[in-house]
Amino acid sequence: MDSGIGLLAAAAVVRRLRPDADLVLSSDPGSMPWGPRTPEDVTARALAVAEAAAQHRPDALIVACNTASVRALSALRARLEPEVPVIGTVPAIKPAAAGGGPVAIWATPSTTGSPYQRGLIGEFAEGVSVTEVACPGLADAVEHGDQEAIDAAIAAAAERTPGDVRAVVLGCTHYELVAERIRTAVQQPGLPPLALHGSAGAVAAQALRRIGELPDPSAPAEGSLTVLLSGSEGGLSATALAYEEGRLLQEVSPAR
């Protein structure tokens, strides 16, 4: 679940790990972005999106949204667990800091500088140089496939990113859909390759662990795909299919 197409990254990893998994993608794109909304509003919208998914009796729910994980994870778990394990998304600050830094964390303006993010930095990046970089408009541009706006938002964030940064944490799931464009904008000539740290791989693996399943990329590609838009069944949008992750989901698992 997510406000919009930020869930594509985690869903694509699940599909690669288990081609036989039945996937339900639940979102409410008309209400995104969730970042500027009040915590109460985010929680109400996240619960509605999650409950729409729960009607399909999933084995687990991935909250593929940083904002929803920050604002609504406790409420989602209180509503759905223990029947449905709920797996939240945490910015990959710990693995990024393990490389010694310097590290930049790209996130939405509401997450940047938040007590939540500062707490993760204090817990996992002590002694490492960390720069928090707000990326206004980037998630919205990715959601709508606005290429000029994507380029402008990435360029603006890259200008605020120190040149000696060796790792960038993608602190919004939408950013993972344009990861290589971010790498190109931040990579400095003559320096070692920049490391990008998203959350999709870790959250997909955790979801499989929670339900006692192992990765099996060789499994038959028989998994189905159900797309829920504000609770009603639909299909992947043209914008979603403009991204590699969306095309993978459409090709491997035709929508029902």
Residues designated catalytic: 65, 172
Q: Please report the sign of the dihedral spanned by the C-alpha atoms of residue 240, residue 156, residue 72, residue 69.
A: positive
Q: How many CB atoms lie within 10 A of CB 235?
A: 15
* 155-179 burial code (b ≥16 CB/10 A, e <16): ebbbeebeeebbbbbbbbbbbbbbb
The Cα 214–Cα 208 span in angstroms is 6
The Cα 13–Cα 62 span in angstroms is 12
The secondary structure of residue 174, as a DSSP letter, is G
Q: How many CB atoms lie within 10 A of CB 209?
A: 14
Q: How many CB atoms lie within 10 A of CB 38?
A: 9
What is the Cβ-side half-sphere exposure of residue 153, based on CA atoms within 13 angstroms? Answer: 22
Residue 139 tokens read as: 């998630």
